[in-house]
Amino acid sequence: MVTTPLRQRMQQAMRVRNLSERTVRTYVSLVSRFALYFRRSPDRVELPEIEQYLFFLRDVKKVSYSLFNQTVCALRFFYLYVMDRPDWVVRIPHGRREKHYPVVLAASETLAILAALGSLRDRVILTVLYAAGLRLGEVCRLAVADIDSARMLLHIRQAKGHKDRYVPLSPIALELLREWWRKTRPSDLLFPCANDPLRSIHPTTVQRALKRAVGRAGITKRVSPRTLRHSFATHLMEQGTNMRVIQVLLGHAHTRTTEIYTHVSPAHARSPLDAILPATPPAGHQ
């Protein structure tokens, strides 16, 4: 990708505001696509054309809510901080999210998937991910120094929002980590890339391993590493863990983000029918 003065200004504006490198790459790519659509530099595009492009994404390309709103965020950032056009920014609308609750695994399904993982590495990574409720990138970047076995904690460094946090270290996960350490003797990163020990394992490698295990376990739900994180939070809620504690463990900035799990965790609720009508055996059963 050719580096232009305009692209450099945008990258600098994002880094000054402490946006992650992944966000920098994503925003630059999305603004580049926008410019390619009109075949001219984005500083020469007019406001009605921005609305035309967003209509094209939503109604012609029918992109996902996530991609649509990422594009909106990238364009709003560009026109606010690079082009200094706050009057345009208020005219670039966010899309309305369709309400979908996250997929959650039953405890038995979780165990079946973990048991079906093909290698020790995959079993360690995904067991730790579920046991601590980590994001995929967080578990991929874990280092030996992040394991505090004396206090039974994992140190999650510079997670989303550039924030550190501690999460409990499961004794079962610790035993798997020790087995992995004895086998590989890592000096820094726990799960380095096979071709470059200075880089962490690529998230796609973990996603593929999980997909294979889901197939072997015969699970028909759509399962991703995030599903294990959702299941961690939901299982904690079903065990009676305080929502504020779950919020801290997940690294959520706002309680409202964690409140989604109140909608997917009805396991301990009773139907009022059971309280007013004695249970009777089905017809034909004694």
Mean pLDDT score, 249-273: 68
Mean pLDDT score, 197-226: 95
Residue-level pLDDT at 117 = 95
Q: Give the architecture-level CATH label for domain 5-89.
A: Orthogonal Bundle (1.10)
Mean pLDDT, all residues of the chain: 88
pLDDT greater than 80 at residue 157 = yes
Helices (H), the chain: 5-16, 21-38, 47-55, 65-77, 86-89, 107-115, 120-132, 136-140, 171-184, 203-217, 225-238, 243-250, 255-258, 272-276
Per-residue confidence band for 2, with pLDDT thresholds at 50, 70 and 90? low
What CATH superfamily classification does 107-262 receive? Answer: Intergrase catalytic core (1.10.443.10)
pLDDT greater than 90 at residue 52 = yes
Delimiting residues of CATH 1.10.443.10 domain(s) in the chain: 107-262
pLDDT greater than 80 at residue 257 = no
Residue-level pLDDT at 111 = 95
pLDDT greater than 60 at residue 283 = no
